[in-house]
Amino acid sequence: MTPKVSKIGVLCSGGDSPGMNAGIRAVVRTGLYYGLEVFGIMRGYTGMIEDDIFQMDNRSVANIIQRGGTILKTARSAEFMTYEGRKKAYDNLKKRGINGLVILGGDGSFRGAQAFSNDFDIPCIGLPGTIDRDIAGTDFTIGFDTAVNTAVEAIDKIRDTADAHDRLFIIEVMGRDAGYIALHSGISTGAENILIPERKTDIENLVASLQEKERRKKLVNLIIVAEGEKGGAEYIEQVIKERIPGLDTRVCILGHIQRGGAPTCMDRVMASRMGYHAIECLMEGRHNVFVGVLQNRMNYTPLSEAVKKKQRISEEWMKIVRILSS
């Protein structure tokens, strides 16, 4: 029989995402409601290895729901990917009696949680905290909505100056392995082309499309490029300048502004909902899953499956892009 969870740790791992603080707040306050002791672990798995752990109460999470980033900080830990590193982390949890974990992060964080639980039989619950929205098993990841809205606000402003000068702007958004930010921000700002790592870019088709628009005197164009696309925005600019030298072209890389800022209402609500259900999972004995949302219902995916699958962009999305950008 699985021992009852009585003391839990909560941590953030990998890249930060807006809404993580809302998730932490929900985990802490729901845990305390059920009579659990709750410990914050600073800087993710690194803090677990280095024993940077402290007990939390309701006041620990006061006035944080509206803040971007994470009060627990976050980091990536190569040491935790070794058994020796995980053993150090386990020893630090054991001496405090911590027998359950909630991890906010992406697929790399979930891989670490799965390995840790396999080694030491500590139940782990994952919350999908990643702006990339690339985890299969959920329609929503904490931070995605805020990141997209940040990108949209910037792109709308760029379109104003593009229109004033009849320019082509190539705008690079985040998404090393996933193109969801590029896809959603591109559709919602009327971009003429959206380039994502999931689809090989047809340079000839891109150039032909721009040449055809030039013939139609459509001189204001936006190309949205996910950073994971080959060479990024600067490579695309180089190709276009070589093939269409008369086109006035500019590059804008939005970068880490997409990770920061106050989370949107959706990110705050969904992170709160997920944090609450993470504790419910531990109380019910549902272990080693991550809490997602599918069709507005809570969905629980085993960590072992979550680390093997990626959320994929469907052909229907790409058809929508082709039709609406013509």
Edge-first strand order for the sheet with 37-41 is 53-56, 37-41, 7-12, 100-105, 124-128, 289-294, 297-302
- Torsion, Cα 186 191 197 198, to 10 degrees, reads 80
Orientation angle between helical segments 203-215 and 232-243, nearest 10 degrees: 60
Gap between the Cα atoms of 126 and 122, Å rounded: 13
Per-residue tokens: 176: 């090393």
Q: Which of 64, 54, 49 lies closest to 13, judged by CA?
A: 49
Q: Which of 88, 134, 84, 91 lies closest to 109, judged by CA?
A: 134
The single residue listed with the structure tokens 């964080």 is 109
Catalytic residue status for 119 = no
Which entry of 16, 132, 145, 267 is annotated as an active-site residue? 132
Contact in structure between 134 and 107 (CB atoms under 8 Å): yes
> Cα 89 to chain center, whole Å?
25
Give catalytic residue positions.
132
